Structure 1
Amino acid sequence: MRIALFVRCLVAPLLSAVLLASCSKVETTPEAPLAATGLQNASAPGFPEGFETGTKTAYTTGSVTLGSGSWTLNDALIGNTTADAKTGNWSARVRNSGSLSMNVDLTGGAGMVTIAHAKYGTDASSTWELWASTNSGSSYAKVGSTISTSSTALSIASFTVNLAGTVRLQVRKTDGSTNRINFDNIAVETYGGTGGNPGGGTGGKKFLFDATHAETAGNADWVLDVDGGVVPRYPTPAASGITASTAETYWAGAVSAWGVALVKLGNTVENLPSGTAITYGNASNPQDLANYNVFVVDEPNTLFTASEKTAIITFVRNGGGLFMISDHDVSDRNNDGYDSPAIWNDLMTNNSVQANPFGYSIALTNISETSSNVLASSTNVILNGSQGIVTQLKFSNGATMTKTSGSQATPLIWRSSSTQGSSNIMCLSSTYGTGRVVCVTDSSPADDGTGSPGNTVYPGWTEIASHAKLHMNASLWLAKLQ
């Protein structure tokens, strides 16, 4: 939150008395009722492929049966030496112009594909590519860019394949040198063939942005679109009109840039309008959380009810993604006695499902700074994902977080002066059950500077280049697209 907003948040109450243990593997299928909606993480059968089954100890061309089916390894083997980069006991090792080729079809198509890669031992850097076939291997087409492998630590490369029908994949080493590359954890999302996505997509996931908890109170507009003071379920103009060159001003909410960017990747976005219930597993509610992959709540200003807290936490436990955004202490925009840090803490500590399910709390703090104190991890896809590398996070009046000792939460960014420990956290990720959570404790980084007439908002989304990358990478991670 900017200074102008901070002053308003402080004065108004007086007059009346504001994107992760990293994981390169695709998660398991969520439990019902998400499974019944067809919106769960659709991992292709047998994937991720970690090369932990099957044996091939020589570089000579041959086929091997792996967990995901039969593959032909050309100038490649499955290795487990100390120099092989791997997350389990084994990984594939490729030299010269070798390749890893599927011999069976992915019958559900292929959406997002991620592959862990590293150079072998002391070998020099090498290059490689992903290719895909839609005719059972008769011909292949290159997918995405050529990848350079230069580190002995596993990094994640992401490819947007988005091919329906039957698909086979092939990994090709392209530089022809004797330098060797290790490959591991090949993850494949099935693809339903949504088609027509501007600029190619990441696979048609559904994102729901909350507007039921006073997200437009005061000087805020933390929704996709506001029409004449009303937040509609479907932003207008229709999302179908968005192309690769559409500006974020297509919609009028202060997080419209976020929503437009998600649509450009082939996803669906909706608001949850004021007065609509937050439920999970209620078939009579067309906007029940079970119908969505990710629930985004940007700076709530009213407490969640007991039933809402149960719905949200159960949604995450059963495989959903929750993006939590807070603001600083004493930021009560609607003067009801509760601000977003208190509201989020109440959800996590005062519910009927599980106390502290996500493993952290929001501290009652107020900081303003730009931090480059980012977790050094080339495999964390929130910080190093398909949307870019995150190097900074700017808070314009925000809170901090504290990780519970021994919890599953993963701090990602800390205050500039802080050690990378369990406190002074500005952004973190967590898991609960088969679901995922990301929390950023300032609303300014997601603010795109557009909103309802008369509201003062600021372009935090573009102010720091990392802000859009962080929120988008986190969104795709929450949706299990990377």
Structure 2
Amino acid sequence: MNFSVRYLVAPLLGAAALFAGCSKSELTPGAPTAAVVAQNVSAPGFPEGFETGTKTAYTTGSVTLGSGSWTLNEALIGNTTADPKTGSWSARVRNSGSLSMNFDLTGGAGVVTVAHAKYGTDASTTWELWASSTSGSSYAKVGNTITTSSTALSTASFTVNITGNVRLQVRKTDGSANRLNFDNITVESYSSGTTPPPSTGGKKFLFDASHAETAGNADWVLDVDAGVVPRYPTPAASGITSTTLETYWGGAVSAWGVALVKQGNSVENLPSGTAISYGNTSNPQDLANYNVFVVDEPNTLFSAAEKTAIINFVKNGGGLFMISDHDISDRNSDGYDSVDIWNDLMSNNSVQANPFGFSIDYTNISETTSNVLASSTNVILNGSQGAVTQLKYSNGATITKTTGSVATPLIWRSSSTQGNTNIMCASSTFGTGRVVVVADSSPADDGTGSPGNTVYPGWTEIASHAKLHLNASLWLAKQQ
């Protein structure tokens, strides 16, 4: 296959509210003295997908689900064509209904995600997540009130961060007859320990360099030393201060890496020849040792074992940042470009077909768009690093969301409706993990790379590019 040489184009952490028992109308902080170490592990029985248990009427009643006993008030478990769902069933709520756990999670609750969509042709409606550390005798609201306005499932994320016993309640708040559906509720455990808490402690980011990310004119790594990509960029990250320039390292995504280190995180490359594994204790760079895996424009196919590792890493709580490029961008002439490689990962693996709910199109577009999802609560677009208002593609691909999936389109082509096609950036969840996809490598390109490579400063060309990538990185790491 031929390829066009292009590139160009191609924060800080919000403190989590920790609380003990309090009144239903008031959130009273009560941060424990012990710090947090056990996070990113799915709570027993979760995700809850409402595939087990039967309740066909709105009258209040309890039902045994996969995670335990829940009381459904003005709610049932539906499977009609008008019920948005990822499997065969989802919970449907009307009026001022609620879904309430009748059991405590003894390992606490960190980040909680809930997939939601409106039912059929009903109008928009609102809902909230509430949590109790007193076995249901009192609750406190968590995060913002969510407005559900689409029939396609999207995912809302809440930072609960309660240690010890906790139970959750989802409440429909507008009191209207408009119905909405809930599915795929995920809960991360959150236990006490002796190391810095996630709200102030760093996370570990691994940037892939094992799949020809430096092929041709590309340089999608943190650092290259004499033609070799090292595990640890040099000079050492310990020398980075608040004023360190991105030229401290030599890769074309060094600005990204330096910015993450300034946030208190650690970054590494996965060098060529190093296996991508998950759960292999003999591999020091096994994905289980990291919080986020960044893969910027891979140019060789993932093996069957690598695909299993990547998807299970996400399923069990990891973050995956997927960056593609345009169609016909095969930089090493092996017959596969990044569009082929990402679609193969998602459609041809041993874990689950289409696990993230989207595919990358065989397209090639160049444009600057301001067609951004209007959502003050979406931390990828409005997070600690600032508001994302634009995205510039210089030869990139579009993305298509699978109808009914939990994927959330975030940015579209400038002339497109905000639907399931012509997407330029999206997020998704799978199991307890998170995924972000940008289908052009140009916005992450900082303009510095190996001698002889031609790269361009996409990172600074549009002010929103750094904000987008850093907000997304912190969201993937569950730091916001």
Q: Is 1:340 equivalent to 2:338 in the alignment? A: yes
SS in 2 for 1:270: strand
1:445 to 424, 439, 443: 443
Deviation at 1:352, TM superposition (A): 1.0
SS in 1 for 2:128: coil
Relative distance call for 1:68 and 1:214 in structure 2 (3 A) is closer
1:116 to 143, 168, 171: 143
2:267 to 266, 269, 288: 269
SS in 2 for 1:344: helix
SS in 1 for 2:267: strand
Count of residues paired in the alignment: 342
1:235 to 233, 236, 243: 233
SS in 2 for 1:394: strand
Deviation at 1:412, TM superposition (A): 0.4
Query: Identity across aligned pairs (percent)?
Result: 76
**What do the CA deviations read for 1:156-196 (whole angstroms, capped 9, x no partner)?**
999xx9xxxxxxxxxxxxxxxxxxxxxxxxx998897878x
Equivalent residue runs for 1:60-99 within 5 Å: 87-88=128-129
Deviation at 1:408, TM superposition (A): 1.0
Relative distance call for 1:9 and 1:264 in structure 2 (3 A) is closer
Counterpart of 2:288 in structure 1 is: 290
Q: Distance in 2 between matches of 1:190 and 1:458?
A: 44
SS in 2 for 1:243: coil
Deviation at 1:203, TM superposition (A): 2.2
Relative distance call for 1:156 and 1:39 in structure 2 (3 A) is closer
| Alignment-mate amino acid for residue 116 of structure 1 | G
Relative distance call for 1:193 and 1:456 in structure 2 (3 A) is farther
Counterpart of 2:360 in structure 1 is: 362
Counterpart of 1:380 in structure 2 is: 378
**What do the CA deviations read for 1:433-470 (whole angstroms, capped 9, x no partner)?**
11110000000000001100110001111111110111
Relative distance call for 1:299 and 1:225 in structure 2 (3 A) is same
Relative distance call for 1:43 and 1:433 in structure 2 (3 A) is closer
Q: Distance in 2 between matches of 1:360 and 1:271?
A: 27
Equivalent residue runs for 1:395-410 within 5 Å: 395-410=393-408
Partners of 1:156 and 1:381 within 8 A in 2: no
Counterpart of 2:40 in structure 1 is: 41
Counterpart of 2:153 in structure 1 is: none
Q: Distance in 2 between matches of 1:369 and 1:25?
A: 40
Structure 1 residue runs of 5 or longer lacking an equivalent are: 11-17, 19-23, 27-37, 45-66, 70-84, 93-101, 104-113, 119-154, 162-186
Partners of 2:41 and 2:317 within 8 A in 1: no
| Alignment-mate amino acid for residue 374 of structure 2 | A
Q: Distance in 2 between matches of 1:25 and 1:367?
A: 42
**What do the CA deviations read for 1:257-276 (whole angstroms, capped 9, x no partner)?**
10011111111100000000
Moved over 2 A (4+): 5-10, 38-44, 114-118, 155-158, 187-195, 200-203
Partners of 2:39 and 2:190 within 8 A in 1: no
Counterpart of 2:5 in structure 1 is: 8
Relative distance call for 1:453 and 1:373 in structure 2 (3 A) is same
Structure 2 residue runs of 5 or longer lacking an equivalent are: 11-15, 19-36, 44-103, 107-125, 135-140, 146-155, 162-187
Counterpart of 2:417 in structure 1 is: 419
Deviation at 1:41, TM superposition (A): 2.9
SS in 2 for 1:274: coil
Counterpart of 1:222 in structure 2 is: 220
SS in 2 for 1:374: coil
SS in 2 for 1:310: helix
| Alignment-mate amino acid for residue 242 of structure 1 | I
Partners of 1:316 and 1:322 within 8 A in 2: yes
Q: Aligned Cα RMSD in Å?
A: 3.9
Partners of 2:292 and 2:318 within 8 A in 1: yes
Counterpart of 1:141 in structure 2 is: none
Relative distance call for 1:266 and 1:420 in structure 2 (3 A) is same
Partners of 1:41 and 1:479 within 8 A in 2: no
**What do the CA deviations read for 1:255-307 (whole angstroms, capped 9, x no partner)?**
00100111111111000000000000000000000000000000000000111
| Alignment-mate amino acid for residue 315 of structure 2 | R
Deviation at 1:405, TM superposition (A): 1.0
**What do the CA deviations read for 1:412-438 (whole angstroms, capped 9, x no partner)?**
000000000000000000111111100
2:390 to 382, 389, 392: 392
| Alignment-mate amino acid for residue 314 of structure 2 | V
Deviation at 1:321, TM superposition (A): 0.5
Deviation at 1:40, TM superposition (A): 3.8
Counterpart of 2:138 in structure 1 is: none
| Alignment-mate amino acid for residue 220 of structure 1 | A
Q: Distance in 2 between matches of 1:416 and 1:222?
A: 27
SS in 2 for 1:87: strand
Partners of 1:213 and 1:302 within 8 A in 2: yes
SS in 1 for 2:466: helix
Relative distance call for 1:256 and 1:115 in structure 2 (3 A) is farther
Q: Distance in 1 between matches of 2:267 and 2:3?
A: 30
- When normalised by structure 2's length, the TM-score is 0.64
Deviation at 1:42, TM superposition (A): 7.9
Relative distance call for 1:43 and 1:432 in structure 2 (3 A) is closer
Relative distance call for 1:472 and 1:260 in structure 2 (3 A) is same
Relative distance call for 1:43 and 1:363 in structure 2 (3 A) is closer
**What do the CA deviations read for 1:122-174 (whole angstroms, capped 9, x no partner)?**
xxxxxxxxxxxxxxxxxxxxxxxxxxxxxxxxx9999xx9xxxxxxxxxxxxx
| Alignment-mate amino acid for residue 292 of structure 1 | Y
Q: Distance in 1 between matches of 2:17 and 2:354?
A: 25
Partners of 2:224 and 2:230 within 8 A in 1: yes
